[in-house]
Structure 1
Amino acid sequence: MKTISKFILFTLLGWKIENNFPKSLKKYVVIAAPHTSWVDFPIAILTRMSLGTMIHFIGKDSLFKSPFGFVFSMLGGTPVDRSKSNNLVDAVVNIFNSRDEFRLGLSPEGTRKKVEKWKTGFYYIAKGANVPIVMATLDFGNKRVKISEPYYITGDMEKDFEVFYDFFKHVKGKNPELF
């Protein structure tokens, strides 16, 4: 699958990847932005498969039921039960704590629509699980995926978010008006 993914991503679609996901770390949160189109998901999956690093995602548990639930599981999805009164951040921290290896990809925007402010759940997940954050861009303007080195949050949310915003500031999404 790695060879096929590389062929599709690099040869057919013309994308490039700058840097790689950390190989020595077994646990971290990946924040990928901008998230402005459904096309982001297949590009992210092709990138992950090309690099040979499993990056998981979370989804409501109903997505993982028959008849197509196995597809989401095969792609690295982890179901989250939202019917309970559990806090999503705590539920994801529990997933991190229960596994020896878990890398979770999230969109800090939380939606494909334009937002004025990013959601903070990814930050609290990284803090609660005591794992670093890796930033990944999907820059459609340059057809380039750029991956950062791991960033260990300082606890100063304002300072940390400046680092995140700076990493993504010149990136163009599929629909740039939404970022």
Structure 2
Amino acid sequence: MPKVILIGAPHSSFWDGVWGMLMKIALGLKVGIMIKAELFRGPLGWLLRALDTIPVQRKRAYGVVEQMVQHFADSDALWLGITPEGTRRAVKRWRSGFWQIARGAHVPVQLVYFD
């Protein structure tokens, strides 16, 4: 499957990202993971860029879906990792961006979880 959106839920801890990155490296997977842009400031930024993460401006409600749809169109192969809650807090409803990206880019969605 050359293009897919991987949604990881629940995202309840900073460690979810650490374990996800370690698994991605161990399995040799090239997965672009959407991460809040604030984490790219300072010394962590170079590491996140090296790990194929994608900075997301969460304060802006517009443009992220369109940017990701275009990213899929420009790529021959892309696995995109998203946490549908958009936060580590418990939420009653997931955000719909992952679904909007999948529909716009005509790619399937696959659920991923850690036990």
1:134 aligned partner = 110
Q: Secondary structure at the match of 1:105?
A: strand
Identity of aligned residues (%): 36
Deviation at 1:61, TM superposition (A): 4.7
Q: What number of residue pairs does the alignment pair up?
A: 115
Q: Which runs of 5+ in 1 are unaligned?
A: 1-24, 140-179
The one-letter code matched in structure 2 to 1:26 is P
From the CA coordinates, give the structure whose radius of gyration is larger. 1
Distance 1:113 1:50, change over 3 A: same
Structure 2, unmatched stretches of 5+, are none
TM-score under structure 1 length normalisation: 0.57
Structure 2 CA distance, aligned partners of 1:78 and 1:67? 16
Secondary structure of 1:116 counterpart: coil
- Residue 35 of structure 2 aligns to a residue whose secondary structure is strand
- Partner residue in 1 for 2:96: 120
Q: Per the alignment, do residues 66 and 30 of structure 1 end up closer, same or farther by CA in structure 2, a change over 3 Å counting?
A: same
| 1:35 aligned partner, one-letter code | H
Specify the SS of the correspondent of 2:6: strand
Distance in 1 (CA, whole Å) between partners of 2:15 and 2:59 is 29
1:115-152 Cα offsets, whole Å, 9 max, x none, are 1111111011111111111111112xxxxxxxxxxxxx
RMSD over aligned CA atoms reads: 2.2
Q: Which has the higher contact order (CA 8 A, sep 6+)?
A: 2
